Chain A
Amino acid sequence: MTAVTEPLADPGAEARGFAEQAYKYGFVTDIEAEHPPKGINADIVRYISARKGEPEWLLEWRLRAFKVWEERFLPAGDPTWANIRYPGIDYQDAYYYAAPKSGNQPKSLDEVDPELLRTYEKLGIPLGERALLAGVAVDAVFDSVSVATTFKKTLAEKGVIFCSMAEAVREHGELVRRYLGSVVPYTDNFFATLNSAAFSDGTFAYIPPGVRCPMELSTYFRINAANTGQFERTLIIADVGSYVSYLEGCTAPMRDENQLHAAVVELIALDDAEIKYSTVQNWYPGDREGRGGIYNFVTKRGACRGRRSTISWTQVETGSAITWKYPSCILQGEGSVGKFYSVAITNNYQQADTGTKMIHLGPDTRSTIVSKSISAGRGQNTYRGLVRIQPKAARARNYTQCDGLLLGDTCGAHTVPYIEVKNRSARVEHEATTSRISDDQLFYCRQRGLAPEDAVGLIVHGFCREVLQELPMEFAVEAQKLLAVSLEGSVG
């Protein structure tokens, strides 16, 4: 898989469907324009909900979120505790629903940053997909519709629900209502709360009891996943004794007109269930001088509600100008297990403040954190992790390993571990290292015939191996290529 290129049988159908049902629940809104004005307020929230034909409970939930955002978070401003720097974001200067095309988008590949095009070539992205990824206005995406159809059929036979969030709200309202916001409440934080008020669409998956999902779920196969927009919402529920592996993102760098991306992902694992969530994030990082690029401010959290349940996060973060994300696990069920495997690369002027939170609530809970950060150019890379052992988490265990690799002397790697232990029988281990790619290693590889960038790629791959091997096979191969491409120009 290389990109999120969705086959759209009739790209307008779903949108028309929403429009037709807009007033089904009798909402009145004074905004009837095709495109609401810029900015966010309660009316815009109502508009979004109405256009999607949402039930009243969801509108109310959105409005409650908006109230919290407006009254509590907005006056306080963006969170400032992370080790990232950016000019203030004007939240009233963005479109929150069906943004009209600004005209700034490239009209053909000739207008796209040539650096980006070279990257596509190196990653072997098919020609047809490059324009789409680069944000060039294209009418339709051509792909095999039959793949998605077969895929849906196989899932349906097992009772697995896998669809867009909008469809889930319509078709599986009770499930959504029960679980939405149950892991990341609408009061959670600045960006998650904004997302709760304004989320555009996203992904929903439910795995019934005892079912091992017969294939890896990926947005790649989900029709209409393209253009889910900047406020994506994902909800995955693994019922008792089920298993699912979910892949998010793609290795191709994607451009988007929206600079701010604030997604929310919620995972729920019941007794003996396991969710494996893998991400390859490669949003446009900006050019070599640090201009442009996506701000990726994401809230991801999983709840191990059931006994012996497992949630593992594996992420390869190479894109975005700024990455702010802490995929976390709430280990509530007795004997539940949380895992976090991360590779974060920052090159040029990229900034990443990422890590995890492992909240041990239940007895005999276990967590593992393996974080690998690679900094090059003027990149700044911070690992920020919290391990909290609550009083009832008897015999809880955590192992944390944070390794930083530096290329050159203008980048930075930082480790900020927070450890809170309130149960004396718990065992918490933390190891951290920072190293450089040595001249000896580079020379050794080059003496054997490897070009400098291949040598760096090889050494970096070795450095990240523990994380990469957690990825599903085909993802791992692509991720490896991606690491090499992301670090180009960082040596020599």
Chain B
Amino acid sequence: MLVIDNLHVSVGGKEILRGLSLTLPAGAVHAVMGPNGSGKSTLAHVLAGREGYTVTAGTARFAGQDLLGLPAEERAHLGIFLGFQYPVEIPGVSTMYFLKAAVNAQRKHRGEPELDAMEFLKVLRREIKGLGMDEAMAQRPLNVGFSGGEKKRNEVLQLALLRPKLAVLDETDSGLDIDALKTVAAGVNALRAPDRAMLIITHYQRLLTYIVPDRVHVLSGGVIVASGGEEIAEVLEREGYAAFATTTLSAA
């Protein structure tokens, strides 16, 4: 599904990813763990097509297609979803209006008929209920005045509505208390499917207690320094990132 090979990425002339390689099969859930500054968010943004990053070498292919030349919206149309670490506020635009615009933009691209307001509302209500969210939230301006937990739940709601083939969840656990974390994790787990790959990007091991990955990669200094099963997360929990500090951690 997703094959990243020897990816080098710079921001403002500074190299952040330094030859990252990673393969994510369809239906798999992989975690990428790393300390602050290791390049986790850069990886998420580069995959989603954010501007301002320079790919100096390497490739990223999704379902056989070269990803790196595509604008962000086309990657979204291919089925790539990014759960944002810091969901963005858009004043004056109701959450429902935004979600409908997003769903219909993607439906249109797939050649499916757009949902009208009533049809969309039905779908939205079902998903909101499934996530144990408050329906009133849909009337509020997108992410404006939302608590940290509400923002992250809103991301998961979008994941559920958009049903992507690849979900990259960037620090979905940050800023969540334990109850919110459980709800968000349950929402994500419910969306695990044989045709949906997930890349869970996180600093802390605790999220992986609730979303159990098939494989864990440790990102450090812009490269994957270790890959393995759950045991890797356990080592991290016990010894911290120092256990994997084979490259220049401090420089990252």
Tell me which residues across on chain A come within 8 A of B49, comparing CB atoms.
446-447
Q: Are B72 and A443 in contact (CB under 8 A)?
A: yes
Q: How far is the CA of A254 from the CA of B251 in the complex (A)?
A: 61
Closest approach, in angstroms, between the C-beta of B164 and any C-beta of chain A? 10
With A439-B51, A458-B101 as given contacts, are A448 and B92 in contact (CB-CB < 8 Å)? no
Q: Are A450 and B102 in contact (CB under 8 A)?
A: yes
In the complex, whether B158 has a CB less than 8 A from a CB of chain A is yes
B131-171 contacts to A, CB under 8 A, are 141-142, 158, 162
Q: Contact residue range for chain B?
A: 20 to 34
In the complex, whether B210 has a CB less than 8 A from a CB of chain A is no
Interface string of A427-470 (1 = CB under 8 A from B): 00000000000111101111111111010001101111110000
Stretch at the interface among B23-31, B55-63, B83-91: B83-91
Q: Are A448 and B158 in contact (CB under 8 A)?
A: yes
B27-51 contacts to A, CB under 8 A, are 48-51
Q: Are B73 and A446 in contact (CB under 8 A)?
A: yes
Tell me which residues across on chain A come within 8 A of B81, comparing CB atoms.
447
Q: How far is the CA of A289 from the CA of B59 in the complex (A)?
A: 41
Q: Are B52 and A461 in contact (CB under 8 A)?
A: no
Tell me which residues across on chain A come within 8 A of B51, comparing CB atoms.
439, 443
Q: How far is the CA of A401 from the CA of B102 in the complex (A)?
A: 31
Choose among A439, A448, A461 the residue that contacts B162 (Cβ–Cβ < 8 A). A448
SS of B interface (majority)? mixed
Tell me which residues across on chain A come within 8 A of B72, comparing CB atoms.
443, 446-447
Contacts between chains A and B (CB distance < 8 A), count: 82
With A449-B102, A449-B106, A458-B98 as given contacts, are A443 and B50 in contact (CB-CB < 8 Å)? yes
Residue ID in chain A nearest B76 by CB atoms:
A449
In the complex, whether B190 has a CB less than 8 A from a CB of chain A is no
Q: Are B93 and A448 in contact (CB under 8 A)?
A: no
In the complex, whether B77 has a CB less than 8 A from a CB of chain A is yes
Q: How far is the CA of A440 from the CA of B51 in the complex (A)?
A: 10
In the complex, whether B125 has a CB less than 8 A from a CB of chain A is no
Closest approach, in angstroms, between the C-beta of B242 and any C-beta of chain A? 33
In the complex, whether B109 has a CB less than 8 A from a CB of chain A is yes
Tell me which residues across on chain B come within 8 A of A448, comparing CB atoms.
76, 98, 101-102, 105-106, 158, 162
Q: How far is the CA of A452 from the CA of B50 in the complex (A)?
A: 12
Choose among B90, B109, B162 the residue that contacts A459 (Cβ–Cβ < 8 A). B90
Tell me which residues across on chain B come within 8 A of A454, comparing CB atoms.
101, 105
* A contacts with B, residue count (CB < 8 A): 23
Tell me which residues across on chain A come within 8 A of B84, comparing CB atoms.
444, 447
Q: How far is the CA of A458 from the CA of B106 in the complex (A)?
A: 16
Q: How far is the CA of A451 from the CA of B74 in the complex (A)?
A: 9
Residue ID in chain B nearest A435 by CB atoms:
B91
Tell me which residues across on chain B come within 8 A of A441, comparing CB atoms.
88-90
Closest approach, in angstroms, between the C-beta of A446 and any C-beta of chain B? 4
Choose among B87, B97, B106, B141 the residue that contacts A444 (Cβ–Cβ < 8 A). B87
Closest approach, in angstroms, between the C-beta of A288 and any C-beta of chain B? 23
In the complex, whether B82 has a CB less than 8 A from a CB of chain A is yes
Closest approach, in angstroms, between the C-beta of A435 and any C-beta of chain B? 9
With A441-B88, A444-B84, A447-B82 as given contacts, are A462 and B93 in contact (CB-CB < 8 Å)? yes
Residue ID in chain B nearest A450 by CB atoms:
B105
Interface string of A23-63 (1 = CB under 8 A from B): 00000000000000000000000000000000000000000
Tell me which residues across on chain A come within 8 A of B91, comparing CB atoms.
462-463
Residue ID in chain A nearest B141 by CB atoms:
A462
Choose among B52, B73, B75, B86 the residue that contacts A451 (Cβ–Cβ < 8 A). B73
Q: How far is the CA of A423 from the CA of B141 in the complex (A)?
A: 39
In the complex, whether B69 has a CB less than 8 A from a CB of chain A is no
The 9 closest A-B pairs by CB, nearest first: A462-B92, A462-B93, A448-B102, A465-B92, A446-B72, A449-B76, A444-B88, A449-B105, A449-B106
**Can you list 30 contacts pairing A with B, beta carbon distance less than 8 Å?**
A438-B88, A439-B52, A443-B48, A444-B88, A446-B49, A446-B71, A446-B72, A447-B48, A447-B50, A447-B76, A447-B84, A448-B98, A448-B102, A448-B105, A448-B106, A448-B162, A449-B77, A449-B102, A449-B105, A449-B106, A449-B162, A450-B73, A450-B101, A458-B93, A458-B101, A459-B90, A459-B93, A461-B93, A462-B141, A466-B92
Binding site for A on B (CB under 8 A): 48-52, 71-73, 75-77, 81-82, 84, 86-93, 97-98, 101-102, 105-106, 109, 141-142, 158, 162
Further 20 A-B residue pairs, CB within 8 A, beyond A440-B86, A458-B101: A443-B88, A444-B84, A444-B90, A446-B49, A446-B71, A446-B72, A448-B98, A448-B101, A448-B105, A448-B162, A449-B76, A450-B101, A452-B71, A458-B97, A461-B93, A462-B90, A462-B91, A462-B92, A465-B93, A466-B92
